[in-house]
Structure 1
Amino acid sequence: MARKDIRRSPRGQRREPDRAAPSGWRAWVRRLFVWGVAAVLLVAVVTAIAVGVAASSLPSFSALKSSQQGQMIVVRARDGSELFTQGPSYGRWVRSADIPQVMKDAMVATEDRRFYSHIGIDPIGLLRASAVAVKNTDGLRATSTITQQLARNVFLNNSRSLGRKVREMVLAMALETRFSKDQILELYLNKVYFGGGAYGIDSASRKFFNHPATELTLPEAAIVAGLVKAPSHYAPTADAEAGRDRARVVLRLMAQNGKISWSEAEAADLDAVRLAPETGQNSVRYFTDWALPQLDVLLGESTEPIEVWTTLDPKLQSAGIDALKANAPGGAQGALVSLDRDGAVLALVGGTDYVSSNYNRATNAMRQPGSAWKLFVYLSALEAGYRPEDMVTDEPVTINGWSPRNDGRSYAGKINVRTAFAYSKNTVAAQLGNEVGFSTVAGMARRLGITTPISTYPSMVLGSNDVRVLDMTRAFATVSAKGHAIEPYGIVKVTTTDGQLLYQHRPSAGAQLVPDYVAAEMTDLLQSAVQIGTGRAAQIGRPVAGKTGTTSSNKDGWFLGFSSGVTTGVWMGRDDAKTVPGLQGGTAPARAFAQFMKVATATRPVEPFDTQAKAPEWQLEPDDQAQQGANPEDYYYVDDSGRLVDPRPPAAADDQPQPADEPAQQDADRPPAAAGDDFLNRATGRDEPAPAPTRSPPPRRTPAVQGPVVQPIPTATATRRPPPAQF
């Protein structure tokens, strides 16, 4: 009998025989299990620490309620009515207890059916999404819970990186540990984006159904809940049928999850839901595109919700767009600017349809003004000593090789200045511009607010320089204001949503840019142009002063004028500057002006024009100055380069005379800006009339004063054209 091999311990104790060692794969399985458990425990510990740290650093519930994405700007009209909201609109905060249960159920059933059972992330949903990803081999798709969406909306961005997803999960679990499910759902429903700038169910309800969220019905709640997936696609105002189809999916999900019965889902009549009409923001956007960028200067850095109270009159804005659409020739665009007597912009229309073209032709487009530019020619002539009754000769003329012609190529011979302006005689304007100096005309345009480059070729007197509608309207408003500077503005005040004043427009007396008697005589000429001249179509049954403008080949048509304290400029033409058959300033633009001004002045009293202002007494006779006590040193002058010059003798200055700065050249592509305070403060407008022109002098005489005086440019006889001066 064989003896078993029994091993003994060193003390002679009996030991069991050695067991067989585990095979290699079992050892690896055991190791992987141990490592896996350890890894899970490590991840759990790290996650717990991360969640704890995140939870401790989370803002309070009230702080989360007040946090917003971007700045909300409520734009209000002249009467305080709301025009529209720019940026995110949050509506009113709706407490959890006030949110209709159907809205809660619709959102949970659609976005996160296990919302009330998970810890911020949905493990079951993650496993299912992972299985689908492996099967379809197209990557893991997003499976964000409501809490994760809230964390992303409040704290993160929409990046699809893995790091962002991990942070989203940690924050979601932190939110779950800090707040209750009702609080999380309340935050989510008041902050989630529903499209069209609407954040939160109250904003969405008011936008789409025109009532607060507390009144949402089951069909409406289904429509709102369906928007979260793709707001721009399912918005009922964008595609009503797509919105209803998505709402039917929401109703089916609600029934499947037991939130409503199948009979309730079938009874929900989505076709009966009444949608709120779209607010009219078409033409208003031209105004806000010009006005709102000024907030950067008025307020500086600001992110809190604000309300901007503007000068815009909704009735007049609508009347402006109607006037352009009703009168603009086929294929032509139009622009309209209307200013109150203090410079407040009552209406600003940059085109016939903002949706099809948001290019603002009222503030950005630069077009030739044609004969409307004669405003500056005749202002310069009146300031130089001409009077409306003075006689001029309408006859062929050649200046530096340039021979202007009248419309129809007819000449009236001896006529007075008033008639020449009323019938827009080109030859007379050319002679006046040549006599007072083309640079003087350019200086006058600069003085009244023209910000675009100005060339002093002789043809400039007929409007060959490009201008903006806003600039030209401002210039005519200066004449209406008896020569005082007009500063167009569109913002009256800015407040926070709780009423705290952040900015208030302060009116100021405009500097005298041209003497009041010159403005009165210019008004006389402008009134004649409407009564008997080229602007007869602009008559509205009360005193109107204005001027037409038509460019060569009928590419541009203008009418600018004023009545009862309202100044309005109208331009029509094609964006490609092609000919518009039959377009003249005295036709379509004048008719559009009249249509608009009948509405704009309907509630204002009739105001006759003051055309009887007289020149200052010190201008009567040089020998009478001492007796009259006038002081011509109080006035300033514009030289041939358009610079303001101090007329005081050198002894009256500090050490030596310092010429005024030349007005800064502005970028032609930028919207117009106001002239600097330094320029306006010195541009008193009570300029010394220029020495008598080379023709027979008018009866008005000017005193001899010390200092530089504007010299007229004599009529040239050489054929060589001088280089143009730029202003």
Structure 2
Amino acid sequence: MADRKTITFAERVRRFFLDLDARIDSGLFSTARWTRELYERFVTVMDRFHVAGWKRWALVEPASEAATLGSVGLVLALALAIPAFNETSDEDWLKKSELAVQFLDRYGNEVGARGIKHNDSIPIEEFPDHLIKATLATEDRRFYEHFGIDVAGTLRAFVTNARAGGVVQGGSSITQQLAKNLFLSNERTIERKVKEAFLAVWLETRLTKNQILKLYLDRAYLGGGAFGVDAAAQYYFNKSARDVNLSEAAMLAGLFKAPTRYAPHINLPAARARANTVLDNLIEAGMMTEGQVFGARRNPAVAVDRRDERQPNYYLDYAFDEMKKLVDALPKSVQERVFIVRTGLDVNLQRQAENAVDETLREYGRQYGARQAATAVFETDGTLRALVGGRDYSESQFNRATDALRQPGSSFKPYVYAAAFIHGLKPTTVVADSPVCIGNWCPHNYSGGYSGSQTLTSALVRSINTVPVKLSITIGNGNPRAGRNKIVDLAKKMGLRTPLPDTPSLPIGASEVTVFDHAVAFATFPNGGLAVSPHAILEVRSATGELIWRFDRDGPKPRRVMPAQVASDINMILNQAVEAGTGRRAMLDGIKGAGKTGTTNAYRDAWFAGYTGNMVAAVWFGNDDYAPTNRMTGGSLPAMTWKKIMAYAHQGVELKPIPGVPPHPGPFGPTVAAAPGARPGDEIPRPTLLTKKGGDVLIRIERAMEEASRSLAPAAVADRNVESAPQTPVPAGSRDGVVAATEGRGRPVRGN
């Protein structure tokens, strides 16, 4: 045998890769051949189904596109449906009670209600036929025909609105509106409309048509704090929904669209005009004839006159929002959703604040070019006593005191000076009122000139603009941004909750705040440097009167945010600002006050924020569209209105000193005479309340009685009669000990 040649390692590697390359080439060739053969077979098979000419474009292509778009639409619909169906995750969604609150004023008198208190006592069979027809003719004529969404009605509304150039006709079915009431909010967004559509279809699969209509009639808001047609009939006509006639039914049916605009106790002519439209709808829908509605046209509904029942609606709206947040913090053992809430509302002061705003605007609004105003009045412990969110709640429910963001102007400067005093400066520190620039921005004074060297006291009293800008540089040790951060941090600790963007003009009030926050933040000064939490709610009780929550026991406690000496220094300066500076029109007779005016660029906003030892309040005047006023400053209408409110608020009360300000001689505040042309009862004499010592005694008695009732509760459970449970608790006192024995509705009796 011949000797085998020795194969080296390198040769073996080379042969391996040659073999691998051959296998790859062969595999690719085979794959390409098989693919070509499969494609040729596929083409041969598909040629049998080939359609050309008009059949392709008339049948095949549309069907293909429809299948493609349908598949995409199905995936998109499923994606959009998931958030909607998440709203129905609660298995007890139909029986779940909404939050319902009965509000009491600080003395225990009922002042209003908010929320939905379900009243399902009237079966749908007992509602008058003309009420059902009026509702269907106006809200959803095809209710018993569609699947939850009235496609034809929606398209008709779309065309009508497009022709009119605005929304003149709604396209939502009754089922869609019920879905919104049960699960969604009133926000106008595409997302909400998509959810509403899916939920409407979902409701149609779960409930009968009559059940849906019954829920809609029972839970729709119809103005005046009334939810459901029965509650609305009681409120507007003092009768059950079973007993309303055709004209009254037409007026009720007209409220579904815009309950505030067409409420008869607010605008009776508009309500009757809307009711007449409902009668036209009945005829157009073929549900009634002209002869059947003739009597209702000739004899329109007469609503109960409730013009004198002035509810503190802005206050109640805020208190209800506060209650919504508080419910989540209540003990888990509290399962019910119906509560009796005692607030810090002072009904007479609330009316005086509303009158002061309205009278000032009527008398001077045109002259100054101002159409709106807002104010918030607090006790120095943070209890909200009065709240006015605008000139007329019936015209606009937007609360300008709590929700509108406006520049505070120079009324922001006390935060800057307080931060400077914390940094180590003193009221006697001398600064120069001279030009200063941060980058390309250079502030100017209201007078247009500069006044040279002066103390910080004089600079704040005279509201010099250049000085707080220089202070921001000093507080930051030469870095204005660091200084502004310290000012923002202090302002937020004091109570300003809105974002305060860092801009060079922040020290002179360029960042926006709310009237509500501005007022409660100023309460830090008369409290000696202690910041307080704003609150309208004093205590919460169950529907049976059981005490669940009380602010002085369960609420947040005051917190120190600045040294007491700093607060005293600010108080001393702001007192001079009222008595000798820009706020002289706010000076109270016989009472020491302190405060600061504020005016923004182009006179768009005018402010006065101030306080006494007892109360703190902020007042804003301006326009909703940010239109400039006619040179209105904070020392004019805001200061005048603040004085009207606070002078009334201090009648007959025990005056408390402001730390750092010598008290005014005399134990009592001023009296306020009725304004010319005021209506009877607008100026209510201020009652003399119990002293703090007497109030403390009553509070101790109240708490002792509560402890005793809790200890006796186990023995009394067996004998308790449900009908004898207390329905309206009458509290004995308030947190600070200023209480009143009541006689009738909110008429405190003079105490010692």
TM-score of the superposed pair, with normalisation by structure 2: 0.53
Aligned counterparts of 1:514 and 1:194: Cα–Cα separation in 2: 47
- The superposition leaves residues 181-212 of structure 1 with CA deviations (integer Å, 9 ceiling, x where unpaired) of xxxxxx99x96989446468873454124x57
2:700 corresponding residue in structure 1: none
Matched, 1:504 2:550: yes
Report the equivalent of 1:294. 325
Deviations 1:137-180 (A, max 9, x none): x9xxxxxxxxxxxxx99x9x9999899699749999xxxxxxxx
- Cα deviation for residue 533 of structure 1 reads 0.3
Identify which of 252, 266, 271 aligns with 1:239: 271
Moved more, 323-332 or 470-479: 323-332
Tell me by how many angstroms 1:590 deviates.
1.3
| 1:410 corresponds to 2:449 | yes
Preserved contact between residue 343 and residue 487 of structure 1 (Cα < 8 Å) = yes
1:223 Cα offset (Å) = 6.1
Distance 1:106 1:226, change over 3 A: farther
Describe how 1:695-710 pairs up with structure 2 within 5 A. none
- The 8 Å contact of residues 479 and 522 in structure 1, kept in 2 or not, is answered as yes
Read off the aligned partner of 1:418 and give its amino acid letter: T
List per-residue Cα deviations over 1:439-478 (Å, max 9, x = no partner).
4333322332333444555433212222232222222111
Separation (CA, whole Å) in 2 of partners of 1:342 and 1:396: 40
Change (3 A) 1:436 1:228: closer
CA distance in 2, matches of 1:83, 1:529: 38
Distance 1:204 1:400, change over 3 A: closer
Counterpart mapping for 1:159-558 below 5 A = 168=208, 195-196=222-223, 198=226, 203-204=231-232, 206-209=234-237, 232=256, 237=265, 239-240=271-272, 275-277=304-306, 279-281=309-311, 282-284=313-315, 287-288=318-319, 290-299=321-330, 304-325=337-358, 326-327=360-361, 328=365, 329-398=368-437, 402-437=441-476, 438-439=483-484, 440-505=486-551, 506-541=554-589, 542-558=591-607
Superposed displacement of residue 343, structure 1: 0.7
Distance in 2 separating the partners of 1:90 and 1:582: 51
Shift, 1:367, TM fit: 2.5
Given the superposition, is the C-alpha separation of residues 470 and 226 from structure 1 closer, same or farther in structure 2, using an over 3 Å criterion? closer
Q: Conserved in 1, the CA contact under 8 Å of 2:431 and 2:454?
A: yes
Report the count of equivalent residues.
478
Select 1:72's aligned residue among 63, 84, 100.
Answer: 100
Determine if contact 1:283/1:353 at 8 Å carries over to the other structure.
no
* Alpha carbons 1:236, 1:243 under 8 Å: kept: no
Contiguous gaps of at least 5 residues in structure 1: 1-65, 97-103, 113-128, 131-137, 139-151, 173-186, 251-264, 614-727
Rounded Cα–Cα distance in structure 2 between residues aligned with 1:396 and 1:169: 74
Q: What is the CA-CA distance between 1:600 and the residue it aligns to?
A: 2.2
| CA shift for structure 1 position 520 | 0.8
Task: Please give the alpha-carbon distance, in whole angstroms, between the structure 2 residues aligned to 1:272 and 1:109.
Answer: 14
CA 1:89–1:447 in structure 2 vs 1: closer, same or farther (change >3 Å)? closer
Amino acid at match of 2:558: G
SS in 1 for 2:490: helix
Distance across 1 between alignment mates of 2:446 and 2:318 = 36
Going from structure 1 to structure 2, the CA distance change for 1:555 and 1:306 (only over 3 Å counts) comes to same
CA contact (8 A) 2:598 2:607 kept: yes
Once the two structures are superposed, the pairs formed by residues 687-702 of structure 1 within 5 Å of their partners are none
Q: Bigger CA drift: 449-458 or 195-204?
A: 195-204
Retained in 2: the 8 A contact 1:290–1:363? no
CA distance in 1, matches of 2:210, 2:454: 88
What corresponds to 1:83 in structure 2?
111
- Tell me what 2:78 maps to: none
- Mapped to 2, the partners of 1:166 and 1:419 lie a distance apart of 72
- What is the letter of the counterpart of residue 567 of structure 1? V
Counterpart AA for 1:313: D
TM-score, scaled relative to structure 1? 0.55
Which one is further off, 530-539 or 551-560? Answer: 551-560
* Identical pairs, percent: 28
- Once the two structures are TM-superposed, the CA of residue 515 in structure 1 deviates from its matched residue by 0.9
Contact 2:405 2:513 in 1 (8 A): yes
Q: CA 1:433/1:200 → structure 2, altered by over 3 Å: closer, same or farther?
A: closer
Query: Would you say the 8 A contact 2:608–2:620 is kept in 1?
Result: yes
Q: Which moved more, 1:572-581 or 1:549-558?
A: 572-581
Shift of residue 80, structure 1, vs aligned partner: 3.0
SS at match of 1:85: strand
- Distance of 2:539 and 2:392 partners within structure 1: 28
> Measured at CA, do residues 519 and 527 of structure 1 come closer, stay the same or move farther in structure 2, by a change above 3 Å?
same
One-letter identity of the residue aligned with 2:521: A
1:597, CA displacement in angstroms?
Answer: 1.4
Deviations 1:328-357 (A, max 9, x none): 543443222221111111223332233433
1:575 is matched with: 624
More helix by share: 2
Is 1:566 aligned to residue 615 of structure 2?
yes
